[in-house]
């Protein structure tokens, strides 16, 4: 017998939520009132419905009383709707014969000063849920075959880790990286905290594992330019720029390619060293990079052909024409590991760009790397004797004090990794250059990770001198007011000494810049994912679905979704890989059935639904035997309901959220016949 013809036998449960609800709502009185409604056979309360005991109670009632609908009033559906679907499934019911009512966020938390009103509101909300439950029908998940191959976008540490984890789980992986070389920002570090291991040694070990694995295909200078399809069967279009240099062994003597690099007359600032050094238009990112084959910088190559001189007939190794190629991939899921970029201070921010002695922390780290052991630290032709770090540049900004970005927003978030990175660097400076005076000007020290606080303790022992400022009373950076032998002067109110105004003469200022997401508007558009207010890519839920986007099969990894250190990026990347492996490992995927459904008897093919649908190929018009009707592709439908509102014939409904169900809920909420007096004090 179908649900439409059988009598509804409803079990209703009102959760105390450990006091979150019952401290305001009189749950027992709610249960008593609901017990009097038609079709309600069981109405109970429990201190914690999501507990094992609470779920066991529901299962027992279904079996004992023959319940065929379940309504639970508790916390947000986003937290435990899946939990209770599993509960009713274990008792033998279709999981979609259950309805969740949120009476915490929508009631008790917003009516703390009105227990009577909150109790009556709970009755109305639950009554609406019961009205919908009477009309619920069994639904089946949308089942799709899945390509057991994933696309990973980004060749930094997070993309590499996701690729490695996916490959060793037996999935095929295609890794694309927009730049000519793998490694991302980790390649620019000398050591990592808190282990102090050599950064590039760790990175190269992972790169080797990835690149030799038979399940992995790597494309550098490649980017996503097209995407269609749905989870399990995405069609990705990749555009790859020419490398310009044929693959070959360049490590043995002066090969033709090495001679070509020497011949190249073009020199540009080397971005790997933040402009501290120069590189040619034919270049490697750094010694030992992957791929080892150099690449031509098409932006700066002037086509002069000087690189081809004196190559002894080996000119075929070099092609000075950039001829991009496009190719298609079929993948089941996509991991977005597009990484971050260091914040670039505005011109004049702490006099950045005005005084050459004001630099950023990433640039200073490369300066330390380029300074040989035993040499003094030199900048602008002078020995650096006094050095100051200024924290929170580009992080924790305030409206009206800090200049916004181009989009009009400030970076009001904490970049998290900067404090430990600064202390890590300050300790290195003091230990390599014991005669140097180091000042650390901070708003707050947030060394939150395991072992990170030790850097603060060590810096104190290393005689790093700490000065604390307030976010609305920032330090200044000025030229010297008198002949004191130093390049800069920092006036600041030190709130470690009750706001005393001091001036610190220094030779160099290092701005501890935060991080921002890489600009990926093209990927956001192609994948239909969303950024948060901080511009980082947004997950569905930070605790329950921390690496998933709202688009099925599109997963986030690493700093694409927020500030993280290397350890956290790897953990997030592994979580992303685990999610994809579970999704694709069986060769099929299941999606929620809450999608549009067309009644052919009512549809006249007006096309109004197609015109308003925001999702590509979710609903189309098809003509069969001269009759045109709307047809839904469930895998592409997000269940937004736009088509339902546009249809002039009421021929479209959303499964699980039909118009009849909505009508019943509205009627119940507005009813004058609810037993409200039963709950009044």
Residues 6+ apart with CB under 8 A from 587: 145, 146, 148
> Of 140, 50, 41, which Cα lies nearest the Cα of 100?
50
For residues 422 and 569, membership in a common domain is answered with: no
Residue 250: inside a domain, yes or no?
no
* pLDDT recorded at residue 106: 94
**What are the φ/ψ torsions at residue 269 (nearest 5 degrees)?**
-60, 135
Q: 600 preceded by cis ω (within 30°)?
A: no
CA distances from 310 to 256, 264, 314 (A): 8, 12, 9
* pLDDT recorded at residue 676: 64
Query: Which of 588, 609, 624 is the endpoint of a domain?
Result: 588
For residues 286 and 349, membership in a common domain is answered with: no
More confident residue, 590 or 48: 48
Residue 679 pLDDT exceeds 50: no
Residue 120 pLDDT exceeds 90: yes
Residue 248: inside a domain, yes or no?
no
Residues 6+ apart with CB under 8 A from 677: none
* pLDDT recorded at residue 252: 42
Residue 251: inside a domain, yes or no?
no
Residue 188: inside a domain, yes or no?
yes
Q: What is the pLDDT of residues 187-219, one digit of tens each?
A: 999 999 999 999 999 999 999 999 999 999 999
Q: What sign has the CA pseudo-torsion 70, 75, 77, 79?
A: negative
Lowest mean pLDDT, pick from 333-347, 426-440, 600-614: 600-614
Concatenated DSSP letters for 135-174? T------EEEE--SEEEEE--SHHHHHHHHHHHTTT-EEE
* pLDDT recorded at residue 472: 93
For residues 350 and 419, membership in a common domain is answered with: yes
Residue 265 pLDDT exceeds 60: yes
Concatenated DSSP letters for 194-218? TT--BHHHHHHHHHHHHHH-TTEEE
* pLDDT recorded at residue 483: 65
> Of 462, 457, 423, which Cα lies nearest the Cα of 440?
423
Q: What is the pLDDT of residues 295-307, one digit of tens each?
A: 999 999 998 988 8
More confident residue, 486 or 250: 486
* pLDDT recorded at residue 677: 44
Confidence of residue 510 (pLDDT cuts 50, 70, 90): very high
Instruction: Return d(Cα 17, Cα 386) in angstroms, integer.
Output: 58
For residues 311 and 401, membership in a common domain is answered with: no
Query: Which of 572, 588, 604 is the endpoint of a domain?
Result: 588
For residues 129 and 156, membership in a common domain is answered with: no
Strand partners, 516: 341
* pLDDT recorded at residue 315: 61
Report the alpha-carbon angle 126-132-138, nearest 5: 125
For residues 114 and 40, membership in a common domain is answered with: yes
* pLDDT recorded at residue 1: 43
For residues 131 and 218, membership in a common domain is answered with: no
Residues 6+ apart with CB under 8 A from 155: 175, 176, 177, 179, 181, 182, 183, 184, 218, 220
Residue 163 pLDDT exceeds 90: yes
Using DSSP's 3-state secondary structure scheme, residue 564 falls into coil
> Of 557, 536, 547, 471, which Cα lies nearest the Cα of 341?
536
For residues 132 and 172, membership in a common domain is answered with: no
For residues 500 and 419, membership in a common domain is answered with: yes
- Longest Cα pair distance anywhere in the chain, in angstroms? 99
For residues 372 and 509, membership in a common domain is answered with: yes
Residue 235: inside a domain, yes or no?
yes
Query: Which CATH number goes with the domain that contains 623?
Result: 3.30.70.20
Stretch 422-427: mean pLDDT: 98
For residues 506 and 523, membership in a common domain is answered with: no
Stretch 297-325: mean pLDDT: 85
Confidence of residue 482 (pLDDT cuts 50, 70, 90): low
* pLDDT recorded at residue 258: 83
Instruction: Return d(Cα 437, Cα 427) in angstroms, integer.
Output: 11
Residue 310 pLDDT exceeds 90: no
Instruction: Return d(Cα 574, Cα 361) in angstroms, integer.
Output: 29
Stretch 110-129: mean pLDDT: 96
Query: Which of 516, 534, 568 is the endpoint of a domain?
Result: 516
Stretch 638-662: mean pLDDT: 94
Domain total for the chain? Answer: 5
Stretch 111-138: mean pLDDT: 96
Residues 276 and 366 sit within 8 Å (Cβ to Cβ): yes
Kindly provide the b/e burial profile for residues 459-468, where b requires at least 16 CB atoms within 10 angstroms of the residue's own CB: beebebebbb
CA distances from 151 to 154, 521, 590 (A): 10, 18, 20
> Of 561, 527, 577, which Cα lies nearest the Cα of 173?
577
Cβ atoms within 10 Å, residue 190: 13
Count of CA atoms in the C-beta half-sphere (13 A) of 201: 7
Q: What is the mean pLDDT of the chain?
A: 93
Stretch 213-241: mean pLDDT: 96
Residue 615: inside a domain, yes or no?
yes
The residue range of the domain holding 479 is 341-516
Stretch 385-396: mean pLDDT: 97
Instruction: Return d(Cα 396, Cα 388) in angstroms, integer.
Output: 20
Helix axes 418-432, 453-461, angle to 10 degrees: 30
Confidence of residue 316 (pLDDT cuts 50, 70, 90): confident
User: Dihedral through CA 364, CA 365, CA 366, CA 368, nearest 10?
Assistant: 90
Q: What is the pLDDT of residues 357-382, one digit of tens each?
A: 999 999 999 999 999 999 999 999 99
Q: What is the pTM of this model?
A: 0.86
Percentage of the chain with pLDDT > 90?
A: 86
* pLDDT recorded at residue 319: 87
Q: 154 preceded by cis ω (within 30°)?
A: no
Concatenated DSSP letters for 276-291? SSEEESEE-SSTT-SS
Residue 249: inside a domain, yes or no?
no
Instruction: Return d(Cα 48, Cα 74) in angstroms, integer.
Output: 9
Q: What is the pLDDT of residues 461-473, one digit of tens each?
A: 999 999 999 999 9
Residue 586 pLDDT exceeds 50: yes
**What are the φ/ψ torsions at residue 391 (nearest 5 degrees)?**
-80, 170
For residues 335 and 199, membership in a common domain is answered with: yes
């Amino acid at each position: 017998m179908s649900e439409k013809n059988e009598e509804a036998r409803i079990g209703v449960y009102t959760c105390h939520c450990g006091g979150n609800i019952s401290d305001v709502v009189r749950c027992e009185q709610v249960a008593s009132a609901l017990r009097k409604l038609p079709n309600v056979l069981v109405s109970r309360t429990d201190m914690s419905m999501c507990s094992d005991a609470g779920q066991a109670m529901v299962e027992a009632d279904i079996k004992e009383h023959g319940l065929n609908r379940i309504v639970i009033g508790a916390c947000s559906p986003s937290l435990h709707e899946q939990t209770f679907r599993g509960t009713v499934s274990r008792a033998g019911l279709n999981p979609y014969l259950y309805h969740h009512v949120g009476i915490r966020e929508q009631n008790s938390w917003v009516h703390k000063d009105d227990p009577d009103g909150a109790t009556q509101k709970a009755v109305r909300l639950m009554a609406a849920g019961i009205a919908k439950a009477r009309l619920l029908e069994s639904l089946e998940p949308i089942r799709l075959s899945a390509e057991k191959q994933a696309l990973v976008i980004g060749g930094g540490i997070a993309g590499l880790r996701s690729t490695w984890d996916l490959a060793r789980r037996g999935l095929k992986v295609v890794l694309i990286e927009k730049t000519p070389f793998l490694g991302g920002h980790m390649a620019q570090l000398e050591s990592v905290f808190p282990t102090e291991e050599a950064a590039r040694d760790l990175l190269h070990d992972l790169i080797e594992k990835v690149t030799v694995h038979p399940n992995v295909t790597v494309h550098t200078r490649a980017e996503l330019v097209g995407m269609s399809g749905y989870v399990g069967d995405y069609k990705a279009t990749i555009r790859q720029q020419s490398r310009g240099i044929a693959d070959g062994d360049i490590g043995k003597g002066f090969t033709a390619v090495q001679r070509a690099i020497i011949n190249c007359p073009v020199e540009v600032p080397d971005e790997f060293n933040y402009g501290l050094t120069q590189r040619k238009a034919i270049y490697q990112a750094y010694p030992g990079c992957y791929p080892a084959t150099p690449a031509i910088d098409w932006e700066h190559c002037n086509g002069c052909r000087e690189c081809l001189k004196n190559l002894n007939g080996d000119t075929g190794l070099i092609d000075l024409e950039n001829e991009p190629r496009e190719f298609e991939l079929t993948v089941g899921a996509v991991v977005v590991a597009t990484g971050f970029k260091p914040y670039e201070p505005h011109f004049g921010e702490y006099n950045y760009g005005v005084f050459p002695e004001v630099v950023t922390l990433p640039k200073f780290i490369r300066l330390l790397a380029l300074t040989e052991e035993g040499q003094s630290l030199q900048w602008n032709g002078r020995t650096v004797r006094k050095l100051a770090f200024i924290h929170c540049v580009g992080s924790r900004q305030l409206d009206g004090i800090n200049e916004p970005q181009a989009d009009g927003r400030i970076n009001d978030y904490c970049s998290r990794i900067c404090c430990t990175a600064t202390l890590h660097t300050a300790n290195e400076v003091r230990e390599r250059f014991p005669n140097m005076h180091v000042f650390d000007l901070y708003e707050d020290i947030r060394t939150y990770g395991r072992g990170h606080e030790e850097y603060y303790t060590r810096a104190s022992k290393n005689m790093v001198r700490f000065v604390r400022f307030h976010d609305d009373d920032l330090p200044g950076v000025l030229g010297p007011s008198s002949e004191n032998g130093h390049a800069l002067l920092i006036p600041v109110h030190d709130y470690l000494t009750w706001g005393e105004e001091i001036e610190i003469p220094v030779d160099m200022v290092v701005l501890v810049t935060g991080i921002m997401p890489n600009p990926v508007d093209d990927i956001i558009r192609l994948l239909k994912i969303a950024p948060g207010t901080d511009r980082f890519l947004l997950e569905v839920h930070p605790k329950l679905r921390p690496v998933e986007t709202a688009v099925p099969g599109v997963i986030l990894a690493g700093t694409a979704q927020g500030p993280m250190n290397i350890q956290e990026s790897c953990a997030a990347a592994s979580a992303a890989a685990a999610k994809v492996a579970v999704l694709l490992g069986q060769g099929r995927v299941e999606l929620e059935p809450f999608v549009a459904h067309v009644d052919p008897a009512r549809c006249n093919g007006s096309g109004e639904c197609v015109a308003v649908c925001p999702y590509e190929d979710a609903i189309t018009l098809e003509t069969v035997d001269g009759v045109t009707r709307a047809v839904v592709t469930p895998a592409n439908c997000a269940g937004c309901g736009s088509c339902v509102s546009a249809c002039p014939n009421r021929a479209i409904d959303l499964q699980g959220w039909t118009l009849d169900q909505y009508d019943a809920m509205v009627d119940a909420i507005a009813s004058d016949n609810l037993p409200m007096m039963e709950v009044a004090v």
